[in-house]
Structure 1
Amino acid sequence: MMVFDVKRPLIPDIAMAAGVSTATVDRVLNRRPGVRKVTLHRVLEAAVKVGYLGEEEVKVRLGPAFSKVVFLLPQGTNPYLTGLNTYVRALAEQSVEPLKVRSHFIESFNPEALVQALRRYGKTSDVVIFMAIEHPKVRQVIDELVNAGKRVVTIISDLPTSNRHAYIGIDNFAAGRTAAKVMGRFCRAPQGKLALVAASRAYRAHMEREMGFLALIEESFPHLTVIGPHEGHDNRDENYNNTRQLLDQHSDLVGIYNVGGSSDGIGRALRESGRADNICFIGHGLTPDTRKMLIEGNMDMVITQNPTAIYTRAIEVASGEKIDSGAVSMEIYFSENLPIVSP
C-alpha cells in the first residue's frame, strides 16, 4: 500500500505567503479586532493559496460580523467611571476595520435613561456594553436587543436575571468580604462603629459589596457595629456632607467603607476632621484622587478593576466567536504598592 505524505498547511505557511506575523494570521482567522482591511484580505487570500481555507470559508469570515460596538457608562462625578470613559474613547479612536467602537455617557442611577439609551444605540450597534441597573424595564430592553440579534454585555455591575450574553467585572461579593477582612484587622479597638457609604442600590454591584461586607463583619468581627448605608449617589459633595455628619454623630467611628465612587469627598471630610489616622478608610477605584489620598494617609486601601482588562475582555467577547462571562482580577492597593503612572 502506498502512503502519501501530504503536509497540511499551517499558520506559519499563511504568514509566510502573506508577509505578516503569525500573530496577525491568528487574529484574522479568529476574527479578532486590530487588523487593517487590506491586511485582512491579504491574509485570507494567502490562506486560500496555501490550501488552509476554501473560498466558501473566506466568504464566511468576510461576512456580517459583530463590528459596531458601543459602550454606555453612567455620567457623574465618579472619577473611576469618568476615567474609564476617557480610556474607552481613546482606544475607540484607534480601532480599525472591521471593528468600530464608540462610547457615550448617560444619566446615572436612572433606569429610564438607560432604557432609552439602550434602545437608541442598540439600533445602530451590533454589540452594546454597559453598566447595568437593577430594574424590570432594563431586563425587558435587554431581551429586545438579544431577540434582534444584538450581543449584550454588562460590565462592572451585572444583571444575571436577564438574557445578557456575558458579564465582565470583579466578583463584587468577594470584594465586600475582602474590604471587611482588612478593615476588621486594621481596627484594633475593642469595639466601635463602621460606616457603609453607598452610591445607590440601583446597581447590583453595590448591593453585592454591601452584602459581602456585612456578612464577614458579622461572622468574624462581632465587636464592630455597622451603620448605614448612607447613599451618596457617587457625588463627592454628598459623600462629604454625609461623612461630616457621621463624624459629628459618632465619636466611636473606627472605619468607613465606600462601596461606590467619589471617595475624595469622604477623604476631604476625614482630613478636615483630623481623625484620618484613627479611622480606617477603604474604597473602590484607583484614580488620581484615591492615589493621592493613599499617599497622604487619608485612605488605607483601594479595591479596583483595571480599565484595560475590562476593555480588552469586553472587546474579545464583542468580536469573538465564543461568548462567555469573565471575571476581571480584583486589584488591591495600599500606599506602598501603587503602580507606576504612565507619562
Structure 2
Amino acid sequence: MPKTTGPVIKDIAELSGVSPATVDRVLNKRSGVREMTAKRVLQAAAELGYLPESDMQANFRPRPMKVVFLLPAGTNPYLGLLGETIKAAAEQPSGYNIRARCFFIDSFNPKLLSDAMRQHGKTADGIAFMAIDHPLVRETIADLQAQGKHVITLVSDIAGIRHSAYVGLDNRAVGRTAGYLLGRLTRQTTGRVALITASRTYRAHEEREMGFLSLMDESFAGISVIAAREGHDNRSENYHHTVSLLAEYPDLIGIYNVGGSSDGIARALRESDRGRDIVFIGHGLTSDTRKFLLEDIMDIVITQSPDIIVQNALKIFDNIRNGAAPMQGVADLTMQIVVKENLP
C-alpha cells in the first residue's frame, strides 16, 4: 500500500463516493470490489496525490475475464465454423480484456453438458453455450449464477430460468420463413414435404419445426408434412433418412432440414437424380452448403453470421463486467436468406 502522506483514506472515500473500507480493499488489492468501483477509487487517489498516476495504472490492470464457449461435437459444419470463429477471435487482440476458449462436447446429452458447465465454471467467469432445454441444465445454470458466474445461450435458448442473455434468432420466425419459402418454391398445391431435425432437446429446432408446421397449415393446406425424422446433426443419419423418404414417398416435393449436416441429405438427393425436382431448404452457410447451392441441390440456406454471434457474446460479457446493461451496444443479429444468385 502507498505511504499515507497527504490526503487520507477518508478523503479518497468522499471523492469517489464509497466507504473507507472499500478504499482500503482497493488499495490493498483485496477482492470483493467491482471493477468500475475500483477504477473510481484509484482515480480519486491519483487526483488527491495519494497515488502517483504511474502507480494507479499499475494497480488498475484487471485480470482478463475468462469465458468458455461450449458447442456440440459432431459432423455439423456450421458449428465447426462457429468454433473456428471463436478460436480466431480468442487469438486476436480486442478491447474487451477477455480470454476466451472453445470446447466441443457430445451432442444431445444434458448430463454431459451439465457436467462440462460445472467443470468449466470452477475457473471461468462466464459460460456461453448452445442450450439443451432440460431440467438438469436449468439447475446447473441456477447454481452457476448463484456462484456469480455469467451465462449466455447461443443459437438455441432455454426456457424457465433466468440467464444473462441469448444470442440467436427468433427460431419460430425462422421456421415460418422456411415454410413460406418452401411452399412458394414448390409451385404445387398438393404433395408431401419432409422435415429432418437434429433433436427436439434443442429449443431452436423445436421452435423452427413449430413455426414451419403452423405456416404450412395456414398457407399451404393441400401439402402434407411428413412427421419429422431426427438425424442428430449427423450426416450419415441424415443420408439414410433421406434415402428412406425418397423410396417411401414418390410424391415428395420438398425437404426442410431444421438442423445441420445437410451434406447427408444432399448426397442422397444427388444419388437419386431427384435433387433438382425437390425443393431443399437448410441452415448454415458453410463451404459444403455453398457447393450445394451452386449445384442446384439446395435451393435456400438460412443462416446467421458466426462472426456477429461471437462478437455479440464477447460484447455482452464485457458489458456485464463493466456494470452496463447486457445488450447495450450489441449489434443486431439478422436472419440471412442465401440463394445461388446472392452468395456472399
Q: Taking structure 2 as the reference length, what is the TM-score of the superposition? A: 0.80
Matched ranges for 1:53-68 at <5 A: 62=60, 67-68=65-66
Q: Indicate the residue corresponding to 1:280 in structure 2.
A: 279
Which has the higher Rg, Structure 1 or Structure 2? 2
- Please say if residues 64 and 99 of structure 2, whose CA atoms lie closer than 8 Å, have aligned partners that are also in contact: no
Q: Indicate the residue corresponding to 2:296 in structure 1.
A: 297
Q: How many pairs does the alignment contain? A: 293
- Please say if residues 77 and 262 of structure 1, whose CA atoms lie closer than 8 Å, have aligned partners that are also in contact: yes
User: Displacement of 1:164 after TM fit?
Assistant: 1.2
Q: 1:154 to 1:187 in 2, by over 3 A?
A: same
Q: Indicate the residue corresponding to 1:153 in structure 2.
A: 152
Q: Indicate the residue corresponding to 1:329 in structure 2.
A: 334
- Please say if residues 66 and 127 of structure 1, whose CA atoms lie closer than 8 Å, have aligned partners that are also in contact: no
- Please say if residues 196 and 231 of structure 2, whose CA atoms lie closer than 8 Å, have aligned partners that are also in contact: yes
Read off the aligned partner of 2:114 and give its amino acid letter. Answer: V
Q: Secondary structure at the match of 2:131?
A: coil
User: Displacement of 1:206 after TM fit?
Assistant: 0.1
Q: Taking structure 1 as the reference length, what is the TM-score of the superposition? A: 0.80
CA deviations over 1:262-294 (Å, ceiling 9, x no partner): 001001101110111110000000011100000
- Please say if residues 189 and 220 of structure 2, whose CA atoms lie closer than 8 Å, have aligned partners that are also in contact: no
Q: Indicate the residue corresponding to 2:202 in structure 1.
A: 203
Q: Note the aligned Cα RMSD (angstroms).
A: 2.7
Distance in structure 1 (CA, Å) of the matches to 2:159 and 2:119: 22
% identity of equivalent residues: 52
User: Displacement of 1:86 after TM fit?
Assistant: 1.3
CA deviations over 1:110-155 (Å, ceiling 9, x no partner): 0010000000001101110000001101000000011111110000
Q: Indicate the residue corresponding to 1:87 in structure 2.
A: 85
Read off the aligned partner of 2:91 and give its amino acid letter. Answer: E
User: Displacement of 1:161 after TM fit?
Assistant: 1.4
Distance in structure 1 (CA, Å) of the matches to 2:93 and 2:129: 19
Q: Indicate the residue corresponding to 2:192 in structure 1.
A: 193
- Please say if residues 74 and 105 of structure 1, whose CA atoms lie closer than 8 Å, have aligned partners that are also in contact: yes
Read off the aligned partner of 2:89 and give its amino acid letter. Answer: L
Unaligned stretches of 5+ residues in structure 1: 1-29, 32-40, 50-54
Q: Indicate the residue corresponding to 1:338 in structure 2.
A: 343
User: Displacement of 1:95 after TM fit?
Assistant: 4.2
Distance in structure 1 (CA, Å) of the matches to 2:229 and 2:176: 19
Distance in structure 2 (CA, Å) of the matches to 1:95 and 1:243: 44
Q: Secondary structure at the match of 2:167?
A: strand
User: Displacement of 1:190 after TM fit?
Assistant: 3.0
Matched ranges for 1:77-116 at <5 A: 77-95=75-93, 98-116=97-115
* Aligned structure 1 segments of 4 or more residues deviating by more than 4 angstroms: 63-66
Q: 1:62 to 1:160 in 2, by over 3 A?
A: farther
Q: 1:252 to 1:144 in 2, by over 3 A?
A: same
Distance in structure 2 (CA, Å) of the matches to 1:176 and 1:203: 14
**Bigger shift: residues 249-258 or 180-189:** 180-189
Read off the aligned partner of 1:116 and give its amino acid letter. Answer: D
User: Displacement of 1:83 after TM fit?
Assistant: 1.0
Read off the aligned partner of 2:154 and give its amino acid letter. Answer: I
1:76 paired to 2:74: yes
Read off the aligned partner of 1:323 and give its amino acid letter. Answer: P
Q: Secondary structure at the match of 2:342?
A: coil
Q: Indicate the residue corresponding to 1:140 in structure 2.
A: 139
**Bigger shift: residues 254-263 or 319-328:** 319-328
**Bigger shift: residues 71-80 or 157-166:** 157-166
Read off the aligned partner of 1:332 and give its amino acid letter. Answer: I
